[in-house]
Copies of this chain bind each other. A is one copy, B any other.
Amino acid sequence: MVGMRGAYGCCTNGGNSNESQQPPVGGGGGGVGVAGAAAVEIAALAVHKVSPPPAQSTASKMKARVKETFFPDDPFRSFKGQPLGVKWLMAVKYLFPILEWVPGYSFSLFKSDLVAGLTIASLAIPQGISYAKLASLPPIIGLYSSFVPPMVYAVLGSSRDLAVGPVSIASLIMGSMLRQAVSPSAEPLLFLQLAFTSTFFAGLVQASLGILRLGFIIDFMSKATLVGFMAGAAIIVSLQQLKALLGIVHFTTEMGLVPVMASVIHHTNEWSWQTILMGAFFLVLLLLARHVSMKWPKLFWISACAPLACVIISTLLVFLFKGQKHGISIIGQLKCGLNRPSWDKLLFDPTYLGLTVKTGLITGIISLTEGVAVGRTFASLKDYQVDGNKEMMAIGLMNIVGSCTSCYVTTGAFSRSAVNHNAGCKTAMSNVIMALTVMVTLLFLMPLFVYTPNVVLGAIIIAAVIGLIDIPAVYHIWKMDKMDFLVCVCAFAGVIFISVQEGLAIAVGISIFRVLLQITRPKMMIQGNIKGTDIYRNLHQYKEAQRVPGFLILTVEAPINFANTNYLNERIKRWIEEESYTGNKQSELHFLILDLSAVPAIDTSGIAFLIDIKKQTEKRGLELILVNPTGEVMEKIQRANDAHDHFKSDCLYLTTGEAVASLSAFSKMITP
């Protein structure tokens, strides 16, 4: 009798398909059809077979999986079928993207790049000096870092909009981590050595991630994490500027909100009104410029030139009124000259190796996240491709070269890249222009910075990082997803109250835990039939869906694996029991249908769970039906069948509709 039914009975005659689509036969009453009529009905039912995927060897499956994991973008797909010479040329072009655009470079492109390059240089010079101070490094290191790395990036990088240089968050983290071990004022040379070594390791980490194609590591920092982290970091950075803005001399070396505010309040006697006045004036000026540029994007050059203008005006003011004698601290003498080699300063001493590796790892990953995200954003705006892993190699090499030429960690900065983009840059040439401008500054203009007050640098930093606090994004996250909002708030609170690194770690941990929880407690839904069709959908979501008497139709929406088999087992048991409680003879349960369409994978525990459920349902007189197992699941069901025929062909169906139609016709036939 069982042989009559069965999903393996292939019947793809098109003429039958209309018949197969009819609404399922309700289990109610039972007196409607007689056995003979039901038998005719079964013959007319088109039941489709569940196929396993074509057999593949373990090796070829492994190869496919490795390819999907590490080469999802198939970077060499255009190489296929090309002659060897062309392949070589393509490989060189792949490694040096500069070769893509240099041959077709024209004067009109150059004009655009020149304007953009000069614009970002006017931002890069004051920001370079400021960010170096944020990292407790000599100001000139910030300018060195705006000279060599942009040149290297222009050769290796594939983004056309990225403006390379030091950035606020990486500077902040590097400074705070290194200060825990070495005082920059007591041992300036050692501190510098540690900074270069950390930069070297940051570059090594970045390039390795790219070469090993592990770029997806940075994907674990979600949007929500980044929004919270950036906002927290912006506040920490701004708090640090209170030293310069208030003219405090004895400032705390800690970073948290509480110690900094305590330090500010305890040193009211050191506040200098001249400094505060000057700081407030330039801060308002910069924020005003920012506001204007945001309101009228065409006036982007106002905020782009404002920092340099502030530096020039404030320097003149200090010079004219001898501000340094009225409590305004100034940068002081800076040496002229280009970057000196620093490979002899790399320090691989075991005492500090742990610290530099850790600092390199964290600053490397953070700055990589920023650089790659910025590159992708502008590539998507201008509709060209940026290969994440290749970008990582470029940024990594740039930092390795940087660490040997007196630069600290650099990446593509969001604010400067936006200015670069708005200023109409066309290629990475704008970075070269910027670097050359910085070079001219380094060679000839350094003495002009002697009287630049530190307070204006603080104002420049605050005006730059204020843009990292993205209130609309926070509101959007709150509206979309409360868990994401929690992650965001944890990152923010962790950064401002605990520490920058720990705040980040907590947020990443919560994000991953949330993903694991989704697997551990997967969604299971009861499905019902949408009247007049053979479509089955979630009863909770579709009010028009109706339970089919005699059937319990469940969907599982997650891979079935060790982390959730116990849960699924208990949950299904409970559902069956709740169904049995009703005690209504007419709606007595006969079939448990598990729709596996949304189960992408199953492991050994999962197969054991299916077998266990089958045994349990049999004990209760129910029949277990599996619907639409996907490739991997079907393959494993087959392998389980090799040992013992657990899942016969008559408990596998391609669609819920076919299963219900076929089974109700069959049960009508045997219980007329």
Contact = CB atoms under 8 A, between A and B. Distances in A.
Contacts of A540: 53-54, 631
A600 B598 contact: yes
A537 interface: yes
A645 interface: no
A571 B72 contact: yes
A39 B216 CA distance: 48
A522 B515 CA distance: 13
B561 A222 contact: yes
A479 B639 CA distance: 8
A62 interface: yes
Oligomeric state, in number of copies?
Answer: 2
B562 A219 contact: yes
B567 A219 contact: yes
A648 interface: no
Given A17-B21, A518-B601, A631 B224 contact: no
Nearest to A543: B51
Nearest to A570: B73
A325 interface: no
Interface string A15-57: 0111011110000000000000000000000101001111000
A567 B72 contact: yes
A598 B598 contact: yes
A618 to B, nearest CB: 12
Interface stretch (A136-144, A343-351, A392-400, A602-610): A602-610
Contact of A562 (B74, B511, B612): B511
Interface residues of A, number: 108
A520 interface: yes
What are the 10 tightest A-B residue pairs by CB atom distance, in nearest-first order? A222-B562, A14-B532, A557-B600, A21-B21, A598-B598, A17-B532, A541-B631, A53-B541, A480-B604, A223-B605
Given A605-B223, A654-B537, A655-B535, A558 B600 contact: yes
Contacts of A54: 540, 543
Given A53-B540, A541-B631, A557-B630, A600 B48 contact: no
A223 B562 contact: yes
Given A535-B48, A558-B600, A219 B563 contact: yes
B597 A597 contact: yes
A481 B605 CA distance: 10
Interface string A108-144: 0000000000000000000000000000000000000
Interface in A526-567: 530-535, 537-538, 540-544, 557-559, 561-567
A476 interface: yes
A484 interface: yes
A359 B521 CA distance: 29
Given A532-B17, A542-B51, A630-B557, A523 B222 contact: no
Given A220-B563, A541-B634, A532 B597 contact: no
A13 B23 CA distance: 12
Interface string A486-518: 000000000000000000000000011001111
A636 B480 contact: yes
A574 interface: yes
Interface of A: 12-14, 16-18, 20-23, 46, 48, 51-54, 58, 62, 68-69, 72-74, 77, 216, 219-225, 376, 380, 383, 388, 476-477, 479-484, 511-512, 515-523, 525, 530-535, 537-538, 540-544, 557-559, 561-567, 570-571, 574, 578, 597-601, 603-605, 607-608, 612, 616, 619, 628, 630-632, 634, 636, 639-640, 642-643, 654-655
Given A16-B532, A17-B22, A476-B643, 7 more contacts: A48-B535, A69-B517, A72-B571, A220-B563, A380-B612, A522-B600, A525-B631
A480 B607 contact: yes
B515 A516 contact: yes
29 contacts: A13-B532, A14-B532, A18-B21, A21-B534, A46-B532, A48-B535, A51-B544, A53-B540, A72-B521, A72-B570, A73-B571, A77-B574, A77-B578, A216-B521, A219-B567, A222-B605, A223-B604, A224-B562, A480-B604, A480-B639, A484-B603, A515-B516, A515-B561, A525-B631, A530-B654, A537-B628, A540-B631, A541-B634, A597-B598
A13 B483 CA distance: 40
Given A598-B600, A630-B538, A636-B481, A574 B12 contact: no
Contact of A532 (B12, B525, B566): B12
Contacts of A636: 480-481
Nearest to A74: B574
Nearest to A598: B598
Contact of A12 (B224, B531, B600): B531
A64 to B, nearest CB: 10
B601 A520 contact: no
A73 B223 contact: no
Contacts of A48: 530, 533, 535
B604 A477 contact: yes
